[in-house]
Amino acid sequence: MDGTETFQFSALVVVGLLVFFYGGSFWMSTRIGKKDENADGYMTGGNNIGFGMSAASMTATWIWAASMYASATSGYTYGISGPIHYGLWGALMILFIYPFGKRIRSVAPKAHTLAEVMYARHGRSSQLMLAGSNVVGSLISLMSNFIAGGVLISLLSPFNFVQGVFAVAAGTLLYAVWSGFRASVLTDFVQVLAMLGAVVVIVPVIFFASGFPAAFETGAHQLTAQQGDFFSSEAFMNQGAPYIAAVLAYAIGNQTIAQRLFAVKESLIKPTFITATIGYGAMVIGVGMLGVLALYLGYDPGSDLNNLIPGMAATYLPPALLALFFIMIIGALSSTADADLCALSSITMTDFYGQAAAGKEKANPRTMLLVGRITMVVATAAAVAFASMRLSILDLLVFVGALWGALVFPVLASFYWEKVTSKAFTSSVIAALVVFLPVRFGWIPTDGAFGIFVDVVSVIGIGVVLGLMTFGFFGIKAAKVVGVLAAVLAAPFAIGHLHEHATLCGSLVAYAVSTVVCWAMSVRSGKTFDFSVIAQRTGDFDDASAHAAAVSADDGDNGGDGGDDGKAGVPQQAVSTDERPASAASAK
């Protein structure tokens, strides 16, 4: 790669491209704007978004600049199996959402956030845990996308990184704040079409311009034995396995995904998520192969692997296609950044103002809109400030996914099992985090007895992850069989060695501890819960009749117990049904 020159746009051309993209997005958002904006429409689009828009929005939200950058980083680090591990498992996690999503929508057809449903199910503590984790996760995601935009602009123009971050942040906020979720969905549709077209053209051009297929023959000496092995154990243990666990947690705990689940027509959940699965896998694996190509070519991205894709594009693409590439990456990061802004605004509108501060009966939809728009502005400013740290996007993704792993079982169990209590939910999440943090960051040496303990707990985590995946499609009996078999078969190979992989173990122990504690505290609780009352506790804020019928949930959860008996905040006519026996199978 020595002597290869990279192309840069002039400042005027970059400004023109940004004005074209963000100006067009803003124009589209104004076309759907309403003089009297509806708070529920601002958050979920009226729970009636069609197939095309929903599938495109789901695809665009899951495909962000970090997905493309991280997939290429994985290819550059682990060889050809890296993008496969990244893109394939990420795609399958979208697929795994839909059976759980159908259950969630049937229980809470007009909810706005998962945290809102957890409040209806358990009380305040579980709501704040889920809402708080999503605030952290969405801010990290927003920061990651701004970092990606800053890197792109600084490499392809005279502007520096900070100026690039400001440009992307201001452009995204410009159109997202106007009409909220409806603007996000509309622009996602256009953005995903542009991204699909760009990937089909750009990736092959870069491959052939760099000397493909000869480059894969002449550059083979650049690879280690593990990088050249399609079935690389290093790639699986450091990329594939952690990502399987991380993206399952993303799928269940992420408000940007939940928001689209609540927005799409209930009858279209399955085709929407299947379509998004295919679109995501094809695009992300395709772009990730640029990292593999860079590895064979001996391309040096410098100290920051986030430079990999922009650097390859600037080296091998002609100016016209480089402009298309620029729009593709800007579209990818903006589609997820606006989703993060919408998620954050929905959380503050619904969970912090609509229920915690004002109460559902007294929440003013106009005030909610103001709170949501202010949230977008504040979140953008915070993400811009954090973006200056220029952290590794891949590390951020895996960390947040593992962190959400502590919530997966308690959240899912709360939709299927009537015995789960608020105390069990709260205690299991806290216990999982207490174990996750020292394992993930190596605060306690894992040699000796503690290492064996981590291995054993991680093996349980393997069973939990595979069991949950099986449960969504095949039910509880198959899930138990798969989970137990997975743990038993993995034990001889994992115990004694697994603790050497801190990223993977951190995620697995979060799953295992939260599952064991939640199950142990709930199985003998003697509590029952009537899932039908969740629909009565959640719903539209703009509907005056709903306001009149709603009964404010009891805020005195006394350490997270409000709602354990299924009576906190339930309309009186539903209380008599709260104690009826139920089972996970019948609930499903």
In the structure, what pLDDT confidence band is assigned to residue 466 with cuts at 50, 70 and 90?
A: very high
**Residue 362 CB-density burial (10 A; 0-12 exposed, 13-18 middle, 19+ buried):** exposed
What is the SS3 assignment for 264? Answer: strand
Contacts with 255 (C-beta within 8 Å, 6 or more apart), sequence order: 113, 114, 115, 134, 137, 138, 343, 344, 346, 347
Please determine, for residue 450, whether its predicted confidence score (pLDDT) is greater than 60.
yes
CATH of the domain spanning 11-396:
1.20.1730.10
Conformation bin of residue 560: beta by default, left when phi > 0, alpha when psi is -120 to 50 = left
pLDDT of residue 36: 59
Residue with tokens 């970090």: 66
Conformation bin of residue 444: beta by default, left when phi > 0, alpha when psi is -120 to 50 = beta
Which has more pLDDT, 579 or 312?
312
Residue with tokens 């009636």: 48
Of 344-353, 367-376, 437-446, where does mean pLDDT reach its minimum? 437-446
Of 314-323, 379-388, 434-443, 537-546, where does mean pLDDT reach its minimum? 537-546
Q: What is the pLDDT of residues 87-140, one digit of tens each?
A: 888 888 888 888 998 999 999 998 899 999 999 999 888 888 888 888 888 888
pLDDT of residue 117: 93
Amino acid at 368: M
pLDDT of residue 393: 59
DSSP for 22-90 reads HHHHHHHHHHT--SS--HHHHHHGGG-B-HHHHHHHHHHHHS-HHHHHHHHHHHHHH-THHHHHHHHHH
Please determine, for residue 44, whether its predicted confidence score (pLDDT) is greater than 70.
yes
What is the SS3 assignment for 350? Answer: helix
Contacts with 473 (C-beta within 8 Å, 6 or more apart), sequence order: 99
Which has more pLDDT, 332 or 348?
348
Q: What is the pLDDT of residues 237-250, one digit of tens each?
A: 888 888 787 777 77
Write out 557-584 in H/E/C secondary structure. CCCCCCCCCCCCCCCHHHHCCCCCCCCH
Q: Return the H-helix or E-strand segment holding 258.
A: helix 255-263
pLDDT (mean) for 542-550? 47
pLDDT (mean) for 133-156? 86
pLDDT of residue 145: 86
Which ranges in the chain are annotated with CATH 1.20.1730.10?
A: 11-396
Half-sphere CA count of 212, side-chain side, radius 13 A: 14
Contacts with 493 (C-beta within 8 Å, 6 or more apart), sequence order: none
Please determine, for residue 570, whether its predicted confidence score (pLDDT) is greater than 70.
no
CB atoms within 10 A of CB 473: 13
